[in-house]
Structure 1
Amino acid sequence: LDVDNGRVVKGVKFENIRDAGDPVEIARRYDEQGADEITFLDITASVDGRDTTLHTVERMASQVFIPLTVGGGVRTVQDIRNLLNAGADKVSINTAAVFNPEFVGEAAQHFGSQCIVVAIDAKKVSGPGETPRWEIFTHGGRKPTGLDADGMKSGFDLGVTRAISDALGIPVIASGGVGNLQHLADGILEGHASAVLAASIFHFGEYTVPEAKAYMAQRGICVR
């Protein structure tokens, strides 16, 4: 759930934003459908230099009973503590992890690595025929979001997802660009991700979580 001013929004490459509804209502719907986890990202907190709205996190945590990852404006150990106390199960770090990588280790030492997630917004910068390479952009496990793919419904950036997954020994969640159920399976089978994240295909009723799980099970992927 990408949240701006208390509303779930979705755009294309983080632009042309559409309102998708109330975050608590949407999260509750996904809980009822059987989603494994919910990710709540306050997408303007870092840009605005403010903290994630704790009241919304508290409301969501009181009504949703699956693991909740929260991010946005996380800059200090106290920020993480506040989010965990508000009901988050995991905290996602983005901008602070890029500009101060030691902060990730500090957070893991304080709270345990099981509740610290690093979100990576990656954009492909190599040209045709060049060795694939990406750069990390900030605007405000690891969760690589392909900026070129975000909202395009053309599938995950499997190149960057696979490169990160193969290089690390921790769970990686593919994110950005899902347009159909095959894309979800591709993230696991071709991108080597441990899990996949999708937004607009669920927000706007194109597919349901049970449909996604059934399709992935048919493809031989172990689902909960």
Structure 2
Amino acid sequence: MLAKRIIPCLDVDDGRVKKGINFVNLRDVGDPVEIAAMYQEQGADELVFLDITATNEQRKTMADVIERVSSQVFMPLTVGGGIRSIEDMQTMLRAGADKVSLNSAAVNNPALIQQGAEKFGSQCIVVAIDTWWNEETEQYDVMVKGGREDTGLNAIQWAKVVQKLGAGELLITSMDADGTKNGFDIALYQAMDEVVDVPLIASGGVGKVEDFSEVFQETNVDAGLAASVFHFRELTVDQVKAHLREQKVVVR
């Protein structure tokens, strides 16, 4: 059995790690290099960086952040936010990212997934899917633009499409669970399990160590991602891994 991964997520704005709720009321959490080094010390398996104000100028800043982090930290780095072209991907990969994450751009231009996979390899291409449960249609809808716009796309069907186009990994965020600290949306990941074969990263809802063991025991996701609980020291990565070992979940 492959070891399950624990992944902190760092939102970057103007070269600093920030954290807010739904991208508002942002609080400065600190310097990306220092925070990344702390997570490496705790035993994080990977880091995800999201450029939350992804203008062209910010992307230049983001490339600088990734260069600084990758020179000090030796674990896989995934970078997302505002990546809209092969050139954007190349910029981040050259800066030291191991993978790039596409979200709104993948919906707007699905061919970009295939182009990226062909040029850099599927293992480099992560498609992020933000989703919420639509009561009226009884389906998980795909949300874009930082969760502000409902595309009406069925998230389960979209996951099948992006896998076929060459995505090597999917980062699935439940907007229903996000920020609640009530645990991962187990039903969502069980539904995803049935239709995709590529690795799945679960995101949204972590409040306690048991949330990680639940998602790994109840679904086939490969990784659990969290932000606030790690940034504000409510949990550490080593605490999570110690708990998972007790629960007989294989971790690195």
TM-score w.r.t. structure 1 length?
Answer: 0.91
Q: Name the aligned partner's letter for residue 61 of structure 1.
A: S
| TM-fit CA distance, 1:18 | 2.8
1:211 is the counterpart of 2:239: yes
Aligned to 2:250: 222
2:92 aligned to which of 60, 83, 86: 83
| TM-fit CA distance, 1:40 | 0.5
Aligned to 2:201: 173
Aligned to 1:28: 37
Sort the Cα spacing of 1:220 and 1:7 in 2 relative to 1 into closer, same or farther, 3 A.
Answer: same
1:139 is the counterpart of 2:160: no
Over aligned residues, Cα RMSD in angstroms? 1.7
More strand by share: 2
TM-score w.r.t. structure 2 length?
Answer: 0.82
Query: Aligned runs of 1:92-111 on 2, under 5 Å?
Result: 92-111=101-120
Query: Aligned runs of 1:36-75 on 2, under 5 Å?
Result: 36-45=45-54, 48=55, 52=59, 53-75=62-84
Q: Secondary structure at the match of 1:39?
A: strand
The aligned length equals: 219
Counterpart-to-counterpart distance in 1, 2:186 and 2:20: 20
Structure 1 regions of 5+ residues with no counterpart? none
1:152 is the counterpart of 2:158: no
| TM-fit CA distance, 1:139 | 1.6
| TM-fit CA distance, 1:49 | 6.0
Query: Aligned runs of 1:175-194 on 2, under 5 Å?
Result: 175-194=203-222
Q: Name the aligned partner's letter for residue 44 of structure 1.
A: T
Q: Name the aligned partner's letter for residue 170 of structure 2.
A: R
- Per-residue Cα deviation, 1:17-53 (whole angstroms, up to 9, x for no partner): 33222222111100111110011111221xx466632
Sort the Cα spacing of 1:17 and 1:153 in 2 relative to 1 into closer, same or farther, 3 A.
Answer: farther
Identity %: 50
- Per-residue Cα deviation, 1:179-215 (whole angstroms, up to 9, x for no partner): 1111111222223211111111111111111111111
Q: Secondary structure at the match of 2:226?
A: coil
Sort the Cα spacing of 1:148 and 1:44 in 2 relative to 1 into closer, same or farther, 3 A.
Answer: farther
Q: Name the aligned partner's letter for residue 77 of structure 2.
A: L
Aligned to 2:149: none
Sort the Cα spacing of 1:74 and 1:110 in 2 relative to 1 into closer, same or farther, 3 A.
Answer: same
Counterpart-to-counterpart distance in 2, 1:162 and 1:51: 36
| TM-fit CA distance, 1:159 | 1.9
Aligned to 1:8: 17
* Residues 51 and 73, structure 1, Cα contact 8 Å, conserved in 2: no
Sort the Cα spacing of 1:124 and 1:16 in 2 relative to 1 into closer, same or farther, 3 A.
Answer: farther
